[in-house]
Amino acid sequence: MFLLTRRFSFLVIMITVSVSVVFAQNQTSRRDMTVEESYLQESIEMMIIRETARTNTREQKLIALEYISDAIDQGRTNPEIAQTLGFLSMEGRMIQSRENGRLINNFPEVRRQAAKQLGRLGTEEAVEALLNIVRYENEPMVLQEAIKSLGDIGINNENNDTVRFIAHTVRHNNNTNPDNLMALATIDAFEKLAKNNNGLNSPEAVQVLVLIAENYRYATPVRERSRQALAELRTYGR
């Protein structure tokens, strides 16, 4: 009787272990399939984004940017998204398509939206693309968005490229057509860069803030914000 009981117990244990192993294998297969399906879905999504971004119409490019925004929202980011945003941010400027000598891909709103998504992406590749916008763009609304995004990311390399390029752009516009929104974006960007880097060791930043504070072509609240930013910069390194 004792032997029979032991055999029965052993049989129950073996059945339990077998069921557990099969269940674990099924769960593993499901996880593997989920990874494969996720990769396939991402590949298809990127193909759609890439092809939509490279159409000739403004509407399709804006749709591509909506897809990119959704991908960033859900954490599906990769180098190809940065490349596509870089491409969209240069269309009409560094990347030009012409028909009978007429520029047909100058879409400032596309470039502005691309600059916004680059700021949300937040990678070093995104910073490089944004610096190219600041260097080569001529539309104030696109420049404003690029400067804002650079401030949101908060990366300023050892050469102070971010501050230097922003300062150069603002000085140029200050001499031709001072823009209050661009000035505010610059002040905010410098404050965020200072916060993320424990101050700004950059005479260009100080010079531009002084320029904004003293230029009566800017609105009074903008000039006051610039003075406040200068006062804040003094607190670092004490």
Report pLDDT digits (tens) over 59-109.
Answer: 999 999 999 999 999 998 889 999 999 999 999 998 888 989 899 989 999
**How far is it, in rounded angstroms, from Cα 83 to Cα 89?**
10
**Whether residues 63 and 122 fall in one domain:** yes
DSSP E strand stretches across the chain: 98-99, 102-103
208: domain range? 163-238
Same domain, 126 and 188: no
Given a contact cutoff of 8 angstroms between Cβ atoms, the answer to whether 9 and 17 are in contact is no
Whose CA is closest to 156, among 145, 164, 148?
164
Q: Which of 123, 139, 155 is the last residue of a domain?
A: 139
Q: Are residues 126 and 202 in the same domain?
A: no
Pair (131, 206) in one structural domain: no
Is 149:116 a contact under the CB 8 Å cutoff?
yes
Domain membership flag for residue 11:
no
Within a domain: 24: no
Query: In this structure, are 198 and 128 located in the same domain?
Result: no
Range with the largest mean pLDDT of 13-22, 39-48, 77-86: 77-86
Shared-domain flag, residues 91 and 123: yes
133 and 50, same domain (yes or no): yes
Distance CA 64, CA 168 (A): 31
With contact defined as beta carbons under 8 Å apart, do 202 and 185 qualify?
A: no
CB atoms within 10 A of CB 101: 5
Q: For residue 16, what pLDDT band results from cuts at 50, 70 and 90?
A: very low
CA 155 to each of CA 68, 82, 165, 167, 192: distance values in angstroms, whole numbers, following the listed order = 22, 16, 13, 15, 10
Asked whether residue 155 is domain-assigned, the answer is no
Average the pLDDT over 193-215 and give the result: 93
User: Do both 184 and 220 map to the same domain?
Assistant: yes
Structure tokens at 174: 């200050």
How many CB atoms are closer than 10 A to CB 164? 17
* Joined tokens for residue 58: 């403004």
State pLDDT tens for residues 153-183.
999 877 889 999 999 999 988 888 899 999 9
Same domain, 177 and 134: no
**Has residue 152 been placed in a domain?**
no
Mean pLDDT of 180-199: 95
| Tokens 């939509």, located at residue | 52
Could you tell me if residue 202 is inside a domain?
Answer: yes
> Is 150 among the domain residues?
no
Q: Which amino acid is at 98?
A: R
Q: Within 10 Å of residue 4's Cβ, how many Cβ atoms?
A: 8
Average pLDDT over every residue of 228-234: 94
The answer to the question of residue 192 being in a domain is yes
Q: Are 46 and 135 in the same domain?
A: yes
Domain count, the chain: 2
Whether 149 is covered by a domain: the verdict is no
Among 209, 155, 157, 213, CA closest to 186: 209
Cβ atoms of 151 and 189 within 8 Å: the answer is yes
Domain boundary among 72, 106, 139: 139
Together in a domain, 122 and 194: no
Residues 135 and 181 in one domain: no
